[in-house]
């Protein structure tokens, strides 16, 4: 049930977004504009036709369109425009900190230099810090449908830029590409001082979540829905205090759940898991972070205390230093208490 007082709380609460693919924030309008600017052919006649194509039955359906969409991103300015548009939108949702993913292999595979993507994204993130007050971390994902060798090559490309990249992640087609495939690459990334996270348990079984923990030694689990099928795994995630970056509207659009009321967020909180709410690929899944909050708040009739907890988890699950986390928690307490 909609609840105006709860919506007002969601609108005002400071929050961090920990699961956002910057390429997935490419709105159809910008996709069209960039296609024109760069003379890239796209198989859509209008913005409406693009939106109409955003109907997916599973993760792979989406990924096919997502990689196609990326083809319009060619220059440093394109990556800046993409990232800046996201940050401006995030600021409207009182997002104070973002830890965004980018997919370098989605670009280098098309002949766009690693640095072109990195420079444009980083320039916008730095501007966002100054002009919008949004701090950031940048996480480079390996595409898991590609080989271990290609992931190593990507890590090599990142090496001159390790002061600009804070972590590695693992995304793309999950089933058939278990975390074990990237054990050595992740070991190397950890050795280089990078944070590590991985998509696990979105479509893949609980065993993939175990592998992410045991073999990749991840600090967070992206999605993690299917971990709930295994009580021992749930206990372990709770005991280790690991954060889960859940994406409700993504889950709905990719048919991970049949209706928004099936979102595991409330259940995770009840089980003592550190769930967070995120938008994943907002241009494709019909909503930014506050849309995700409102969708589950309405469907699950979340209490204000639960919403506050989710906002708190977004900072305590971030890669921010403790002092910064504490500052954000104090700001949350102020907003939540001053009602």
Contacting residues toward ligand HPA, per CB under 6 A: 21, 24, 59, 66, 171-172, 199, 202, 250, 280-281
Residue 280 DSSP class: B
- The piece of 84-92, 225-233, 273-281, 293-301 that touches Zn ion (CB under 5 A) is 273-281
**Between residues 14 and 317, which has the closer beta carbon with respect to ligand HPA?**
317
Catalytic-residue membership of 202: yes
Nearest-approach distance from CB 227 to ligand HPA, in angstroms: 15
Nearest-approach distance from CB 130 to ligand HPA, in angstroms: 28
Yes or no: say if 85 and 30 are a contact pair by the CB < 8 Å rule: yes
Nearest-approach distance from CB 137 to Zn ion, in angstroms: 15
Nearest-approach distance from CB 65 to Zn ion, in angstroms: 15
**Between residues 9 and 277, which has the closer beta carbon with respect to ligand HPA?**
277
C-alpha dist (Å) from residue 139 to 13, 45, 75, 155: 24, 34, 20, 12
Draw the binding track, 280-299, toward Zn ion (x: CB under 5 A; -: no contact): x-------------------
- Candidates 119, 110, 34; CA nearest to 80 is 119
What DSSP string describes 4-52?
A: HHHHHHHHHS-EEEEEEEGGGG--HHHHHHHHHHHT---S-SSHHHHHH
Q: Which of 202, 211, 306, 312 is catalytic?
A: 202
- Candidates 104, 138, 139; CA nearest to 124 is 138
Residue recorded with tokens 């670009």: 107
Cα–chain-centroid distance for residue 328? 20
For residue 203, state whether it binds Zn ion (rule: CB under 5 A): no
Q: Enumerate residues 6+ apart whose C-beta is below 8 A from 324.
A: 97, 135, 315
Instruction: Tell me the residue nearest to ligand HPA as measured from the CB.
Output: 171
Q: Which does 81 bind (CB under 5 to 8 A by kind): ligand HPA, Zn ion, none?
A: none
- The piece of 50-58, 121-129, 156-164, 274-282 that touches Zn ion (CB under 5 A) is 274-282
| Distance between CA atoms of residues 256 and 236, nearest Å | 23
Q: Which residues bind Zn ion (CB under 5 A)?
A: 280
> Which residues belong to the active site?
202
């Amino acid at each position: 049930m909609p609840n105006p007082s709860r919506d007002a709380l969601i609108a005002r609460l400071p929050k961090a977004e920990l699961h956002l693919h910057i390429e997935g924030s490419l709105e159809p309008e910008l996709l069209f504009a960039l296609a024109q600017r760069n003379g890239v052919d796209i198989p859509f006649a209008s913005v409406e036709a693009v939106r109409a194509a955003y109907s997916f039955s599973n993760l792979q359906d989406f990924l096919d369109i997502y990689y196609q969409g990326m083809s319009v991103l060619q220059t440093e300015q394109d990556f800046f425009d993409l990232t800046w548009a996201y940050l401006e939108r995030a600021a409207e949702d009182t997002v104070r900190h973002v830890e965004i993913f980018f997919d370098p292999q989605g670009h280098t595979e098309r002949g766009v230099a690693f640095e072109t993507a990195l420079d444009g994204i980083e320039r916008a993130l730095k501007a966002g810090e100054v002009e919008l007050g949004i701090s950031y971390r940048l996480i480079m994902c390996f595409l898991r449908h590609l080989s271990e060798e290609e992931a190593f090559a990507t890590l090599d490309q990142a090496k001159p830029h390790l002061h600009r990249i804070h972590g590695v992640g693992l995304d793309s087609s999950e089933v058939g590409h278990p975390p074990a495939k990237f054990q050595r690459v992740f070991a190397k990334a950890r050795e280089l001082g990078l944070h590590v996270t991985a998509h696990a348990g979105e479509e893949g079984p609980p065993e993939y979540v175990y592998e992410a923990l045991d073999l990749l030694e991840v600090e967070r689990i992206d999605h993690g829905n299917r971990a709930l099928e295994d009580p021992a795994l749930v206990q372990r995630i709770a005991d280790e205090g690991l954060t889960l970056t859940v994406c409700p509207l993504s889950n709905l659009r990719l048919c991970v759940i049949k209706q928004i009321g099936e979102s595991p967020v409330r259940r995770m909180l009840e089980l003592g898991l550190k769930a967070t709410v995120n938008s994943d690929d907002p241009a494709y899944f019909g909503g930014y972070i506050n849309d995700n909050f409102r969708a589950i708040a309405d469907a699950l009739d979340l209490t204000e205390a639960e919403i506050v907890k989710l906002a708190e988890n977004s900072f305590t699950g971030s890669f921010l230093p403790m002092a910064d986390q504490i500052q954000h928690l104090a700001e949350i307490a102020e907003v939540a208490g001053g009602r």
